[in-house]
Structure 1
Amino acid sequence: MTPTLIATIGPAGAGKTTWRHRHVPPGATVVSLDETRARLAPCGCSANQDVNAAAVEHGFAATAAVLAAGGTVVWDVTSYLRRFRTRLLDLAAEAGARTEAVVLLPPLATVLARNGRRDNTPCPDCGYARRVPEARVREMHHAVTAALPGLHTEGWNTLHFGVLPPDLRHR
């Protein structure tokens, strides 16, 4: 069995987790930083940024272990930063894994509206809320949009474009 890495790429509110729930192959290991943060945070919050660095490292370690064992990993994370995608691709290369990227980039208004429906009540323990600050969502959307033309050069074996804004579909 060939190890496989499937990574979602998209801003907060793009539908990555929804896509994952519908499309994860049987037996795949899901790496979700939201879920990992919730497990690591003393308060149990998926938004707790105080444990984010540990969650990221845990995610990379789990990915490396599953790929080394010949399994499939679904990386349910924004992956909007190239350095994170590069590190994922390096882990996959070390394991001889096949790589697939699933780009989910609805129009900015859509992701802002979806994010706006997330709970914005700060946790009484850590102070973080589930809703991502609007400026960060805009930054993520811009970064993914800017990365689109070069994604094919990053080393992905397959690119899937699940949702793109109408103005980007025919470039």
Structure 2
Amino acid sequence: MRNWQDILKSTNAELLAWAGQTSWAGAMRECQQDAEWHAEGDVWTHTTMVWHQVELLDDYASLGRIEQLKLLFTALLHDAGKPATTARDPESGRLRSPRHSIVGAALARQVLRELGCPLPLREEIVHLVRYHGRPPYLLERSAPEHEVIRLSWLLQNRLLYLFALADTRGRDTREMSRPEETLHLWQDLAREHHCLNVPYFFANDQARFLFYRQAEGNLHYTPHEQYRCTVTMMCGLPGAGKDTWLAKHQPRLPVVSLDAIREDLDVDATDNQGTVIQEARERCRQHLRAGEDFAFNATNVTMSLRKRWIDLFADYSARIELVHIEPPLATVLRQNAKRPDPVPSSVIHKLAAKMEVPDITECHGITFEEGD
């Protein structure tokens, strides 16, 4: 399979055969699992069992091809993070794979990016991989309804439920530790809160924003949307086209740019960035205190980095709009090379590998631009 168009034209058998020849499938073949949970053996054996259970789901035939592919790629990649995370627990002696869903989600993003999968579709599959293990443990949550509501803005709860069924059935367990009744509860709760097939309805963008910023968000609070200003927060690799997007879509908007501040302060990108960040925060505060709309332009490749700035903007009651620019990596490298002070290509590859694409749970609104 060379690209996403090939994927769309392929049969399930062709797709599984292609996947079986990849390096990540090879790594799963060599990764054994805990026998109590997975008596069937290695990770790839489990993966193929889950794949076939997806095809056997009662609802599978009624799904559109894109929805089928979401489930099939989730099956292929849901445990792809296990080879990098599996180790024997020194106390129990059992094999464990902590955080494998996080590692698997990053690998899924890389695989799907290389195939040219459309960005919104790719990210839903990534989220299905990231959260595939949540439904069986719903009753352990202090507020189970919040769990299905939180995920409804990242993925379709119906697909997560269907995949959880296939994942439970696609294994040979010595312990009956994943009763399907709990999975049915996930579906029932999502249906009860009207977010089985669509995102949960919040009264307004601010209500949703506050819900995701609180450990136990208030579902019944309707805040006034009285923003002091709007911050347009750019996200993307160096050379992705963030400046070009701002010039085209927000030409009159003041911009706080880390690159521009580095140039003003004569600080190299490889130097300590403390003074740059301090100056950027002060420039942002000037706009925030004045209630002026502005853009904040930086790579902002990880959620933790974005959160530091979002916290600042939220403290001043700003509306936060994220804009993620992601053309193909070859385009990024070509555009970066044309810059007066290009970033080393090795750095761009490293940033691409750690990229955590922003999502709607971080902000009031979001825009995705894929480019050419």
**Fold agreement, TM-score > 0.5:** yes
Q: How many aligned positions are there?
A: 146
Query: What stretches of structure 1 of length at least 5 have no aligned partner?
Result: 120-129, 166-171
User: Which residue matches 2:330?
Assistant: 109
Q: Which amino acid aligns with 1:135?
A: S
3-state SS, counterpart of residue 234 of structure 2: strand
Q: Would the aligned equivalents of 1:105 and 1:141 in 2 still touch at CA under 8 Å?
A: no
- Superposition pairs for residues 1-171 of structure 1, below 5 Å? 2-24=228-250, 26=252, 28-41=253-266, 47-50=268-271, 52-119=273-340, 130-144=341-355, 147-148=356-357, 151-154=359-362, 156-163=363-370
Greater strand fraction, Structure 1 or Structure 2: 1
Query: What stretches of structure 2 of length at least 5 have no aligned partner?
Result: 1-226
Q: Distance in 1 between matches of 2:365 and 2:251?
A: 16
Q: Would the aligned equivalents of 1:38 and 1:48 in 2 still touch at CA under 8 Å?
A: no
Q: Could you say what the CA RMSD is over the residues aligned between the two structures, in angstroms?
A: 2.1
How far 1:97 sits from its partner (Å)?
0.4
How far 1:142 sits from its partner (Å)?
2.9
Greater helix fraction, Structure 1 or Structure 2: 2
Identity in percent: 31
3-state SS, counterpart of residue 17 of structure 1: helix
Q: Distance in 2 between matches of 1:3 and 1:25?
A: 17
Q: Which has the larger radius of gyration?
A: 2
Q: Would the aligned equivalents of 1:29 and 1:72 in 2 still touch at CA under 8 Å?
A: yes
Q: Distance in 1 between matches of 2:274 and 2:246?
A: 23
User: Which residue matches 2:90?
Assistant: none
Q: Distance in 2 between matches of 1:81 and 1:64?
A: 22
Q: Which structure is higher in RCO with an 8 Å CA cutoff and minimum separation 6? A: 1
- The C-alpha deviation readout for 1:93-136, integer Å capped at 9, x for no partner, is 110000001110111111112122335xxxxxxxxxx2212121
Q: Would the aligned equivalents of 2:228 and 2:316 in 1 still touch at CA under 8 Å?
A: no
- The C-alpha deviation readout for 1:115-163, integer Å capped at 9, x for no partner, is 22335xxxxxxxxxx221212111222333xx23x62222x10000122
Q: Distance in 1 between matches of 2:237 and 2:285?
A: 24
Q: Would the aligned equivalents of 1:5 and 1:72 in 2 still touch at CA under 8 Å?
A: yes
- List 4+ stretches of structure 1 deviating above 6 A: none
How far 1:25 sits from its partner (Å)?
5.7
User: Which residue matches 1:168?
Assistant: none
3-state SS, counterpart of residue 335 of structure 2: helix
